[in-house]
Amino acid sequence: MSEGAAAAEDNGNQLPLPRVLLPHVQWHWATPQAESVLRCGDLGAVLRFHRQIHGLSQTTLGNLLGYDKTYISMVENGRRTIDDVPSRRRIAATLRLPPHVLGVTDPTDADHVAMLQFGDSTVRLTEIARQSGHAREAVAELWPLVARLEGRVADGHTEREVLVLLARARVGLGVALGHVLPEERLPVAARWTGQGLAVARHLGDPAMTSYALRMHGNELRKARLIGAAVDRLRHAVAIAPGDAERAAALTLLARAAGELGDGELFDEALRGNRGLLEQVAHTSLVNPFALHEIQLRGLLKTGRAERAVRLIDSQPPASYAVTPQWRVIEHITAGSVLLRRGDPTGADERLSAAVTDATAHRLPHQLQRVIRATRHALPATRERAEQGLQRLRQDMAA
């Protein structure tokens, strides 16, 4: 195991929790209003905005920057300019801005741009890795990125693009941890997605906030905080900027409602999802294979096992791409339904496949689901699941 993965998968007492951003963090530079001010590159507008946000007088800002009140007033009104590079660089440093927003090139600015490009690439590639069954590798890559970004923000560098990247990286790390941690440690994954949501809420971007709410809600569900999960997912549906995002949130809301045993909400979410499915069926956010599993599990959880039994044979078309973890999840749910139907042979085939794949892809939570499903049946399969879980625990502790 890599050092990053080992650190991120250590036990719940030793795993560092998300760092809460310090009180002095200047969130105002991440707002849409600030983005507009910075885009214009007008030093006077930047100074005026800084004063308004902090409630500073021109005298106080002048003292901070080394100018008198009259000069600050003239700069703000466009009657004077500050064009020399050292002065602009000093102002940028004082206001905690990258120099390029004031038209100054700087070696540290190049590092800043390179960090953002590297970070964006890392987040995108780790999402692909996680969906391909390599969640541990995703954790190992995201862990140092999140630490670097948090250090930068704690130092006062709160440019919007840094905070967007931090929100995405925190959420991605939480989701990846949600695959590799056993059930008793899943609240750690939920904390990371929650910290990503905390940043996203400051950005004034409905798409980013809806995404973070969606991911956080799903991790809360896995951590058995179902009521909180439903609340976050309802909010994600309400603010989703488009049909694809709304359908994705409704999919997870149906899943959480099923876990809660709320048949009415479960049915409502599925109906809403079906209304959007034709328009978004070919996006990566909604997959009929996942919807089939969610419906099966929800029917079981809401006391309608007979409907789940009738539905079990109506598999979605094989043409849809299915990630390894979703295949495992579906095997377990289908196996549970087949046990209800009185088909232990079919159930054992599905659950045995789930044990093999969950062990290979290091999915302890899914092995724990198999153990629960086979509590009163299929002792040999339950024993294999217990042995696989024990091996994964030993690897995590190593």
Contact 173, 142 (CB under 8 A): yes
Contact 34, 46 (CB under 8 A): no
Tell me how far CA of residue 298 lies from CA of 88, 194, 295, 322, 370, in angstroms: 60, 25, 5, 20, 17
Report angle CA 218, 219, 223 to the nearest 5 degrees: 120
Residues in the chain: 398
Amino acid at position 131, single letter:
Q
Domains of the chain: 42-102 (1.10.260.40), 209-286 (1.25.40), 315-398 (no CATH)
Beta strands (DSSP E) in 116-208 are none
pLDDT at 244: 86
Tens of pLDDT, residues 103-153 = 776 655 667 778 889 999 999 999 989 988 889 899 999 999 998 888 877
Contact 293, 330 (CB under 8 A): yes
pLDDT at 314: 77
Neighbours of 262 (CB within 10 A): 18
Tens of pLDDT, residues 69-96 = 999 999 999 899 888 888 888 888 888 7
Residues near 343 by Cβ (< 8 Å), separated by ≥ 6? none
Contact 235, 222 (CB under 8 A): no
Cα–Cα distance for residue pair 96/102, rounded to 1 Å: 12
What residues in the chain have per-residue pLDDT under 70? 1-32, 105-110, 155-156, 277-286, 316-321, 398
